[in-house]
Each structure stands twice: as C-alpha cells, then as structure tokens.
Amino acid sequence: MPDADLIAPAAGKRVVALVYDGLCSFEFGCAAEIFGLARPEFGANWYEFTTAAVEPGPLRASGRLMVQADGGLELLDDAGTIIVPGWKGLDLAPPGALVEALLRAHARGARIVTICSGVFPLAATGLLDGRRATTHWRYAEALQTRHPEIEVDPNVLYVDEGQLLTSAGSAAGLDLCLHLVRRDHGPEIANQVARRLVIAPHRNGGQAQFIERPVQARPESRLSSLFDTMRARLAEPWSNADLARLAAMSERTFLRRFREATGSTPADFLIAARIDRARELLEATSLPVDEVAAQSGFGAVATLRHHFQRRLGVSPATYRQRFARSAA
C-alpha cells in the first residue's frame, strides 16, 4: 500500500453500493451497516449512501428478498466510493456497461471496494492487473487462474491498494469497511462504529482468513496465560524453546498447539502484538519514534519502520500523521 493511499474520493462522501439480481445479502448488509446508517453524532461529513442497479428490475437477493435500487449505473458517475458486494456467479461475466462505469469512476479518482466474490467484476476491468488483491479463499484459485496478472493473496482478510480495496468473504467485508472509516475519519470514530456493531474495532488486513480450528472462548490455560505474558513482555527476545518451556510442552507440541489456537507462528504473533502496541502509542501519545520502538518491543527505529512498512504499507511517522487522536 503506497504512502499516497489516503486518497480523497473524487466526489467526497457519497458511497454507492451496487445491487443486482442474485444480490449477496450479507455482503450488501456489511456496506449498508457501515455507510448507510444515519450517524448524526459524527456531523455533516458522514457518508451519503445510495444504491445503483446493475440491471433492470425486479431484483432478487439471497434470503428471498426483493431489492429496489435508487437508480442505475449513472449513479456511479458522482460516487466517491463504490462498493461491489459479492457477485452473482464466478462464471457470469459483468455487463459491459458496468465495466465501463467502473473504469470511468476509477479514472476520476473514485475508490472501488469489493467484498468476497465482488472482486470478479473489478478484475474484469483490468484495474487489478499487477496489483495485490484477495477474495474468499474458496474463490482465490479461480481468480488467479482467470486473471494471472493479479497477485492474488488467498490468506489475508483484505488488501488496500489505495483506490482499489478487496476483501475476503463475509465478515471480512466489515473489517474492510471499518478500515475505510479509519482511513477517512480516524481511529476514534472507527472505534465508535465498531462498538455500536459489537465487533472488534480493528483486525489487520494481513490477518489470516481462517485458522486450523476455531479459537476457544476459554483457550487452554497454559496458552492463555502465555499470550498475556508475551504481550506484557514484548521487548523480550523470545525463542520457541523459551515459550515451550513456559507452556510446559515439548517444542514440537507447543508449535502445533500455538498454530491451532492462533493461526500463526509465535514469531508472527509477537510481530503483530508489537505492531498493535506501537500503533496505540503512535495514536495516543506524542512519544518520540525511538521511544515507541523501545516500548513496543522492536528496539530499533529501523526495525519498527521495516515491520510497519511490511505489514501496514506506511512508515510510523505517516501512520501517526493520519491516525493520531489529535488529528482525528
């Protein structure tokens, strides 16, 4: 994600969600819940939400619902953000009029956001060629086969390429929409929206789509206490052997159970925890970056910068500039 990713939508706050016959109701609901509810507490700059029909009605949605759109594809011409909430079928090519409308919107600076299989109409425009993108893991192989020019990442929750944003299936659409709110309005407002939805305020886009088995509500006590210890002592040079000893397991058993519980390795877990701590410090304090690096467990500023750039696509200084609470 380039440093220029904080792109002001060409038409500002207007969000247009596509609707079509066979509409994916849940994916559409993600967009409507984030952008379509009135939120007067956030003032006049909150989003304006509308819907554009890809084809003439009547339009049906999953769950035996009927849908009536606010207008047709002409509404995309003044959209700041366009949401593609799934697609009716992987083997159904998008209409030429939709492809042309998306190309026009992109050319004038609009953002295009896809949820789950919604990436397929966007891929048909060629705009994703040479870029990273994701979709539901079940569809990733089909996307890569049909569009080999795209760098498909089947593992992540979402990918932010600035003007083009793609997400995995179902709830990952909520994560991506909240990420966009965070980009536009800062972390405090994004956290308020998340609290109202009773969901996690932020899941990093690079987080795995799924893990080997669901995390238990009450994880195995040895691992649960170990997670707390690791987060409390982020500056420690933890080795797998050290962690296995604390968990009272053999190293091989420990690594297996750790991945089953978290979907990641201990090293990845620590990097993610250190990044989360660094983000908190950058958002909420005015500590110098070298102190942020020390308190978050990275030690050196260069190490902090490396992992921020690799995981978030921005430098710590750029992140603070965008998301510090005083700037929200």
Identify the CATH number of the domain in which residue 161 sits.
Answer: 3.40.50.880
Q: Please tell me whether residues 156 and 24 are part of one structural domain.
A: yes
Residue 100 has pLDDT above 90, yes or no: yes
Q: What percent of the chain has pLDDT over 70?
A: 88
Q: Please tell me whether residues 136 and 74 are part of one structural domain.
A: yes
Q: What percent of the chain has pLDDT over 90?
A: 55
Q: Please tell me whether residues 164 and 191 are part of one structural domain.
A: yes
| Structural domain total, the chain | 3
Q: Per the omega criterion (within 30 degrees of 0), is the bond before 237 cis? A: no
Backbone angles phi, psi at 62, to 5 degrees: -60, 150
- Average pLDDT on 223-232 reads 86
pLDDT digits (tens, 9 = 90+) for 157-195: 899 998 999 999 878 999 999 989 988 888 788 888 988
Confidence band for 212, pLDDT divided at 50, 70 and 90: very low
pTM of the model: 0.68
Residue 198: left (phi > 0), alpha (psi -120 to 50), or beta? left
Domain with 319 in it: 268-327
Q: Are 173 and 116 in contact (CB under 8 A)?
A: yes
Ranges of beta strands (E only) in the chain are 14-19, 48-53, 59-61, 65-67, 81-85, 111-115, 132-133, 151-152, 158-160, 164-167
Q: What is the DSSP string of 234-277?
A: TTS---HHHHHHHTTS-HHHHHHHHHHHHSS-HHHHHHHHHHHH
Residue 262 has pLDDT above 50, yes or no: yes
Q: Please tell me whether residues 110 and 236 are part of one structural domain.
A: no
Q: Please tell me whether residues 153 and 172 are part of one structural domain.
A: yes
The two three-digit tokens of residue 261, written as one number: 């519980």
What's the pLDDT score for residue 169? 84
Q: Please tell me whether residues 191 and 145 are part of one structural domain.
A: yes
Q: Determine, yes or no, domain membership for 136.
A: yes
What's the pLDDT score for residue 112? 97
Judge residue 52's burial from the number of C-beta atoms within 10 Å of its C-beta, 0-12 exposed, 13-18 middle, 19 or more buried: buried
Confidence band for 269, pLDDT divided at 50, 70 and 90: confident
- DSSP, collapsed to helix, strand or coil, labels residue 320 as helix
Q: Residue 287 is which amino acid?
A: L
Nearest Cα to Cα of residue 247 among 213, 264, 278, 224: 224
Buried b (16+ CB within 10 A) or exposed e, 174-187: bbbbbbbbbbbbbb
Q: Please tell me whether residues 167 and 28 are part of one structural domain.
A: yes
Q: Please tell me whether residues 275 and 240 are part of one structural domain.
A: no
Residues marked active site are found at: 116
Q: Which of residues 299 and 260 earns the better pLDDT score?
A: 299
Q: Determine, yes or no, domain membership for 209.
A: no
Q: Please tell me whether residues 240 and 315 are part of one structural domain.
A: no
What's the pLDDT score for residue 207? 58
Q: Please tell me whether residues 149 and 237 are part of one structural domain.
A: no
The pairing of beta strand 65-67 with beta strand 151-152: unpaired
Q: Please tell me whether residues 151 and 291 are part of one structural domain.
A: no
Q: Determine, yes or no, domain membership for 288.
A: yes
> Which CATH number belongs to the domain containing residue 311 in this structure?
1.10.10.60
Nearest Cα to Cα of residue 79 among 18, 127, 15: 15
What's the pLDDT score for residue 201? 62
Tell me the pLDDT of the chain averaged across its residues. 86
Residue 285 to residue 63: CA distance in whole angstroms:
47
Task: Give me the torsion for CA of 91, 97, 102, 104, rounded to 10°.
Answer: 150
Confidence band for 216, pLDDT divided at 50, 70 and 90: very low
- Average pLDDT on 276-281 reads 88
Q: Which of residues 98 and 63 earns the better pLDDT score?
A: 98
Q: Determine, yes or no, domain membership for 213.
A: no
Confidence band for 214, pLDDT divided at 50, 70 and 90: very low
Whose tokens are 């519980």? That residue is 261
Q: Which of residues 169 and 239 earns the better pLDDT score?
A: 239
Buried b (16+ CB within 10 A) or exposed e, 92-120: eebeeebbebbeebbeeebbbbbbbbbbb
The two three-digit tokens of residue 144, written as one number: 């890569």
Q: Please tell me whether residues 101 and 182 are part of one structural domain.
A: yes
The answer to which of 5-14, 167-176, 314-323 has the lowest mean pLDDT is 5-14
